Structure 1
Amino acid sequence: MKAALAPWALSGGAAVSVGFARFGYALILPAMKTDLHLNYAQAGWLNTANSLGYLLGAVLAIYFVARLGNRALFVWGIALTTLSLLANGMTHDFQWLTLFRFLAGLGAAGTFICGGVLSGVLGARAIVIFFSGGGIGMLLSGAALPWLFSLTGAAAWPVAWLAIGAICVPLAIAAALAARAIAEPSVPGTQASWPWRHCAAEFIAYFFFGLGYIAYMTFMIAWVNRHIGESAHLAAATSVMWIILGAMTLAAPLLWRRLFSGRRDGRPMGLALLVLALGAALPLLLPNLAGIWLSAMLVGGSVFMVPSAVTGFVKANLPAPAWGGALAVATSLFAIGQTIGPVACGWISDLTGSLSSGLAASAAVLFLAALLALQQESLRHKAAQPVAP
């Protein structure tokens, strides 16, 4: 594979693990909620099951990345995620759906963490290309799924999962081939120490990012459904919103290039979070199509820059053998927040009778995360050295 194409092929891992497996659920959720008669807490629970799998995968990555290497975890993770997405379309049973959502999250953790590490081997530009790959999944989902449900009704949600899984197969193959051609940044069987206390502001902010952003990505389409009347307008509104999200995600590397270049502190993450928080709050301030689409522009242009910023921070401040372990720890914190977020937002919404309350709380959490990330200093004089396990 040509070197110039490797980051783009590798970004298929982000498309599968996040663009389809995590964010595709937001588009399918209203149909599943209607057809399966779910309340908001149950709908949130299915995403929490995915997040629990992601959390377990991140914790396991802390242990296995030093023993098996990033490439192996990436390939196994993307295979498990793709198969789980296909399985979602083969059952109506809530318990089986919970299991498949869990397994999709389990595989996605290894794909996302190790894909970030492998992209770091290719350079800073490859990092943002990899994470922006999630926009591929969002763009394709947004272009097709709202119209599918508009034409065929809520009962078509299994077809949506099968279609998503089918699209993920070639993306997964291309990403796996790219990963196998990238040099392993760490030697299996060795570990590296790193000053985790000095990374606290960045990593805790990443926890709050997981807590806040997932509520928007899980329930925003359901919120749009409540505020747009006619079905034809609803399909157009949701399709355009998701296309904007995906397109802005793909454009984000160009928009943020200068800020991310050469930074070793928490400013890239903090500013990306500020834009994200504003985008999450905007529909509540402007509850119309203009507000919804402008929100999509801001969220799409910033949401994947947050994990890009964390990965860039780790790469700039820590030795290469420590990248996998450090990102696994950061991702574990993120996954804990992501696990709590959907159920918390669903619970607040059920309690108040309004999705706006849960979404407002998530926007406030994102503002808090931004302020915390801006406190992170460079570790220029505190780099760790590799040690034997």
Structure 2
Amino acid sequence: MSDPRARHTLQAALALALGAAVSLGLARFAYALLLPPMRADLGWSYFTAGAMNTVNAAGYLAGALLAPRALARWDARALLLAGGWGSALLLAAHGLVRGDPALYALRGLTGLASAATFVSGGLLAARLGQGGGLRPALVLGLYYGGTGAGIIASALIVPPLTWPAAWQALAALALLATLAMAAGTRGVDSAPAGAAAAALGWRRRDFGFGLAGYGCFGLGYIGYMTFIVTLLREQGLGSAVISAFYMLLGAGVIASSWLWAGLLQRQRGGVPMALLNGLLALATLLPVLSTQPLVVALSGALFGAVFLSVVAASTALVRHNLPPAAWPGGIAAFTIVFAAGQIVGPGLVGRVADGAGGLQRGFVLSAALLALGALLAARQRPLARTTVSSGG
């Protein structure tokens, strides 16, 4: 890459991607690998196992609600790094306790720290993309694709360890990633948005179908990411196969940065979110329809290549349709409905899985919610330029 500006943008985007690796890859999605041994050791039902992720999502929602005001007052990079340091400390504490109340509290606080990193990182990536050198959609894709690096690292580290030791190892990784992120994001535009930007008016109903489709995404995808490892274990797949599956899923997340960048760059409405939700519904159904290793691998590869691009699609929708000063509020609005869906999703799927039909029935429910999200997002239209410029 001979263009110095493009090289600098790429380096900064990859450093920001470590924020997504920590906040989602390590702090949230690694839980799927830890769930089977924790459930066996602590005697959890599926509902309790899902409720742990529900509490994590509730903390994330609280962080998303606080994000617009925080970004208006404080440096976005400082919030990014504070969330990273906090996540590392909280992950370490997971390995020191065994009681459900303490674990619930830690999952909730980890969600709060994750939101601080993920929302501020998304804003920084959107600003970085405006600086030139790389396509804005590619910068967003690289940022969200960083989650895949966290997923792959989890798949390599967690399976050989006891669950308390695994939490400690994840904490060490989060600490190292945050140190690297701090070094690589110096000079990125991270100035506070200011009180005027926080108060900038725009009508959430203009994004009504996009927000509804994104809420269904939050409801549906989290069931897969919470319970897929448990389902594969119940279907008799061994630890080595499951680790390879999770690494394949993580590789798909990284690849998604390039797969969907063109689509996100061209489309200003809800088409990308609709297409991606539909593909996720298919990926969620595949392990229910067949336990053949090839079908299971296809499910993981497809899910990984798609699900974080739905998040990128929401940010692209905001970037295409609102002025830069309104981006913090727009990104936070989508993050809030996403987090609300994640609060309900794990417990809902867990409750269904505790009944007749087991986890397969829960996965069918998740697929149906994702399909509904596709139908809703397809109705989202670009905002009129006059609406955007007026802020109303």
Q: Is the 8 A contact 1:206 1:334 kept in 2?
A: yes
Equivalent position of 2:174 in the other structure: 168
How far has the Cα of 1:224 moved from its partner? 0.5
Structure 1 residue 28: Cα displacement: 0.5
How far apart, CA to CA, are the structure 1 residues paired with 2:190 and 2:157?
37
Please name the residue that 1:216 is paired with.
Answer: 224
Residue 206 of structure 1 corresponds to 214
Question: Per-residue deviation at 1:287?
Answer: 2.2
Aligned to 1:153: none
Shift of 1:301: 0.3
Provide the residue aligned with 1:128 in structure 2: 141
What SS class does the counterpart of residue 123 from structure 2 fall into? helix
Q: Which residue does the alignment assign to 2:51?
A: 45
Task: State the Cα deviation string for residues 284-320 of structure 1 (Å, max 9, x = none).
Answer: 1112222211100110000110010000110111111
How far did 1:59 drift? 0.8
CA displacement at 1:12 relative to structure 2: 0.4
Does residue 147 of structure 2 align to residue 139 of structure 1? no
Letter in 1 for 2:157: A
1:152 aligns to what? Answer: none
**Size of the alignment, in residue pairs?**
376
Query: Separation in 2 of the partners of 1:222 and 1:4?
Result: 37
1:232-311 equivalences under 5 Å are 234-311=238-315
Question: Separation in 1 of the partners of 2:125 and 2:233?
Answer: 37
**Could you tell me the TM-score, scaled by structure 2's length?**
0.92
State the match for 2:202 in structure 1: 194
Match of 2:233 among 209, 225, 229: 225
**CA root-mean-square deviation:** 1.7
Deviation at 1:122, TM superposition (A): 1.5
C-alpha distance in structure 2 between counterparts of 1:380 and 1:184, whole Å: 29
CA contact (8 A) 2:193 2:328 kept: no
Tell which deviates more after alignment, 297-306 or 264-273: 264-273
**Post-superposition shift, 1:39?**
0.9
TM-score, normalised with respect to structure 1: 0.93
Inter-partner Cα distance in structure 1 for 2:192 and 2:203 = 18
Partner of residue 34, structure 1:
40
* Deviates most, 87-96 or 365-374: 87-96
Question: Within the alignment, does 1:25 sit opposite 2:31 as a pair?
Answer: yes
Structure 1 residue ranges, 4+ long, deviating more than 6 angstroms after superposition: none
Shift of 1:272: 1.2
Match of 1:30, as an amino acid? P
Tell me the equivalent position of 2:388.
383
Letter matched to residue 261 of structure 1: Q
Output the CA distance in 2 between the equivalents of 1:270 and 1:240.
29
In 1, the alpha carbon distance for the partners of 2:283 and 2:155 equals 18
Cα distance, 1:180 vs structure 2? 4.6
Structure 1 position 19, deviation (Å): 0.6
Tell me what 2:317 maps to.
313
Residue 371, structure 1, aligned to residue 361, structure 2: no
**Shift of residue 170, structure 1, vs aligned partner:** 1.5
* Distance in structure 2 (CA, Å) of the matches to 1:113 and 1:300: 21
Shift of 1:187: 3.2
Give the unaligned 5+ runs of structure 2: 1-6, 130-135
SS in 1 for 2:9: coil
String of CA shifts for 1:264-300, please: whole Å, max 9, x gaps. 1111111111111110111111122222111001100
Report if the CA contact (8 A) 1:19-1:138 is conserved. yes
Would the alpha carbon gap of residues 315 and 28 (structure 1) be closer, same or farther in structure 2, given more than 3 Å must change?
same
Relative to 1, partners in 2 of residues 1:263 and 1:185: Cα closer, same or farther, differing over 3 Å? farther
- Provide the residue aligned with 1:360 in structure 2: 364
Amino acid at match of 1:359: F
- Write the distance in 2 (CA, Å) between the matches of 1:307 and 1:351: 31
Residue 77 of structure 2 corresponds to residue 71 of structure 1: yes
- Tell me by how many angstroms 1:184 deviates: 3.0
1:217-239 CA-to-partner distances (Å, cap 9, x unmatched) read 001110001001xxxx5112211
C-alpha deviation, 1:179, in angstroms: 4.2
Q: Helix, strand or coil: the match of 1:184?
A: coil
Does the 8 A contact of 1:67 with 1:190 survive in 2? Answer: no
Q: Distance in 1 between matches of 2:261 and 2:53?
A: 32
Identity of aligned residues (%): 38
| C-alpha distance in structure 2 between counterparts of 1:179 and 1:195, whole Å | 33
Task: Tell which deviates more after alignment, 252-261 or 65-74.
Answer: 65-74
Determine which of 314, 325, 336 is the counterpart of 1:332: 336
In the alignment, is the contact (CA less than 8 A) between 2:20 and 2:146 conserved in 1?
yes
CA contact (8 A) 2:10 2:139 kept: no
Unaligned regions of 5+ residues in structure 1, if any? 150-155
